[in-house]
Structure 1
Amino acid sequence: MNRSVFVTGGNRGIGAAVAAAFAAAGDKVAASHRSGIPPEGVLGVRADVTAPGEVEKALREAEAAHGPVEVVVANAGITRDRPALRMSDEHFEEVLRTNLTGAFATARAALKSMLPARRGRVILLSSALGFLGSPGQANYAASKAGLVGMARSLAWELGDRGITVNVVAPGIIKTDMTEPLSEKRMADLMRMTPLGRPGTVDEVVAAVRFLASEEAGYITGAVLPVSGGIGMGH
């Protein structure tokens, strides 16, 4: 592989693993980040996906180094968990700005190169909790559910241009975002997971790489759960 790949939130967790895997396969990879450092072999470009124009600027920097983007992975995401009665407007809106509006800005910026080329892969990172809901995560679940409607709308818009748009929906994955979960909450989530264990970032990476591959050329508007069965059927 020798494609130009752009990943948001590529300095930790799933984003870093995705960026590293594409680079290891021979792709030219750039990753946006607000803090930290992306993996070795990945071009880091600083950007806050919630700040107007920043993700567009970062993607243009990546393209100056690697050529027109052919695969974009919108992974940047945050949590601001609170029960609804204690969730401020800012906590709600901040999560939507990052997880949903930021993903839209990322996809829109990439399409400026994909449309003339009449090819491309857009992959959005959602969550099984977007389908199930979760106590204290009305903002997070809303943002992740919104990605599905957005992806399917874009799939309609872009299908005749050879561009696919798909969603990967991880379940409970071992990352720094799940570390704060209490033992009781983790046990409850594992009881809801038919496979009875958390997933690994490598299992999510495999799904992302498949949707970016030539073999997935006839798949668009799909939601691919990597969840051990939690939220199945949605």
Structure 2
Amino acid sequence: MQQAIAVLDSGVGGLTVVKEVMKQLPHEKVIYFGDTARSPYGPRPASEVRHFTRQIVDYLLQFNPKMIVIACNTATAVAIEDIRARVSIPVVGVISPGARAAIKMTRSGRIGVIGTDGTIRSQAYETALRQISPDIHVYSEACPLLAPFVERGLFSSDRAHSIVEQSLSPLKDKPIDCLILGCTHYPFLMESISQVMGPEVTLISSAEETARDISTILSQRNMQTKSNEIPIHQFFCSGTPIVFRQIAENWLKEYISFIPVVWQVPTII
């Protein structure tokens, strides 16, 4: 049986990473868990996020995955080393890939970061950026309204622009040329964020770079799927599946339109 890449997030945000994985690695099976019943993670204490992340990883291990992808910035910031110490398979996060992508793109060395309260409070992006380039200037801003807005499926609504404008107003006057979308929910709002920040600011989503990391690790360890069969992906959520399924099918439609998708809702863990 084909071993899957297991991807987890606090809700629907990690689907932005899944989309890139399906695009770059079309023969790899994905098992996804969105913790929609307990989203968002941003306002929660780090100890609670670590506990939730352990629970989800334990749930996903029953499927014998070959890799764990923590496609949540808050969980990556506070739990990735804990998970790496608990499992024997590769564990990939989304912060280091996002930081690398921003360093490649910046011209001025002045980078903005938006994220949940938990991600910004952890200073994980500042640490990752300065490990690569110690002289970088980082301007961080918590945007606690955005992830719950996406979770409700409102990212295409008329309210999207105004809520993004309100959230990003503290960064408008900062001299940045790159903005890291430090929450995997934020690419759902890419159009509005781009309009608010203007064409001179390059938006950095860690999803594409994270998928490259996954591909590199699989190649280095000779773990790529050898079969050319179309994989059957599985999607799980801890809350009601109605909105989750609508968002997932809409976001991934060009990649899963001809792929059987198994939707299941486990008991909240």
TM-score by length of 1: 0.45
Higher relative contact order at CA 8 Å, sep ≥6: structure 1 or structure 2? 2
TM-score by length of 2: 0.40
Which protein shows a greater Rg?
Answer: 2
